[in-house]
Amino acid sequence: MQYQIVRDITVSELAEALELNFQGSSTQLIKTIGSLSNIEPGVLTFASKRQSAQLNGVVIGLDGTDAELLILSKNPRLDFCRALQFLIDSEVLVKRDLSSEIDNSAIIADSAVIEDGVRIGEGTIIEHNVTIHQGSVIGANTIIRANSVIGAQGFGFEKSADGSWFRFPHLGRVVIGNNVEIGALNSVCVGALDNTIINDGVKTDNLVHIAHNCQIGKNSILTACTELSGGVVLGEGVWMGPNSSTMQKVKIDDSAVVGLGSVVTKNVESGNTVAGVPAKVIRRG
């Protein structure tokens, strides 16, 4: 995560700023921000649905949510967005001071834009007009082809009561492994609360979009115009056909194949081939 809490703020202070009620200790400090998958004491997160197990952190959630500390909300995702923006505006939550680390053997085009706090490994090539945003990590012997954008803001909004859209502040980063090739005109978005991760050996064709929080397993192939929606997880050796797209948060297991123009709306088991709109199994692994 690119952001950190730099000064004390209690649950009661945050609830008051949001004009919301809370349940639990008023003196508990908020120590960091996280997702439900990384919840622990002092972590601020949100739960859009009532959870069956008790949550140990500071949760913005519906009345009846079983949490150690609960900030009551009728729209938890919206109020979590508001909370993040308040913490950023009040300089409680700030970007980490990340140092840049660019290996001397990396080849970077003069027209490329490399922001502060970027790490680029040995032998990596960054082509013309590439933009790499703050906090991105790129491994060794990786190629980023022309006009690609690494670490752009993800697309996340929540509708306010008046019908306007409130942006979900993205706090994560992009982490790209070794021996990866990112094609021309790709966009790889930062994670919302967790990182977007592209593991070793992944190859993407031109015009590929990888949304926030995606995790792509080793040696997977994403052909031209593949679109991965937010939170999609690909296993190792997955093949995504041209113009294929996915619903958010689906999981495509190891060595699965997604056919040309397919729309994946459900999880795909290891080794299976799916095709169609919506995608259905046409061959089992």
Domains along the chain with CATH numbers: 3-95 (3.40.1390.10), 101-283 (2.160.10.10)
Q: What span, in angstroms and rounded, lies between the C-alpha atoms of 118 and 112?
A: 13
CA distances for 217 relative to 19, 94, 95, 239, angstroms: 42, 31, 28, 11
Q: Would you name the residues annotated as active-site residues?
A: 212
- Give the separation between CA 153 and CA 207, rounded to whole angstroms: 17
pLDDT > 90: what percent of the chain? 87
- The pTM assigned to this predicted structure is 0.93
Beta-carbon count within 10 A of 269 CB: 16
> What is residue 39's predicted lDDT score, i.e. its pLDDT?
84
Work out the average pLDDT over 66-94: 95
Average pLDDT on 68-89 reads: 96
pLDDT at site 52: 60
52 to each of 47, 67, 128, 236, how far by Cα in Å?
Answer: 11, 10, 51, 32
Answer yes or no: is pLDDT of 89 > 90: yes
pLDDT tens digits for range 126-183: 999 999 999 999 999 999 999 999 999 999 999 998 999 999 999 999 999 999 999 9
Q: Phi/psi class of residue 221: alpha, beta or left (left: φ > 0; alpha: ψ in -120 to 50)?
A: beta
Whether the predicted pLDDT of 33 surpasses 90: yes
The closest of 19, 25, 4 to 96, measured between CA atoms, is 4
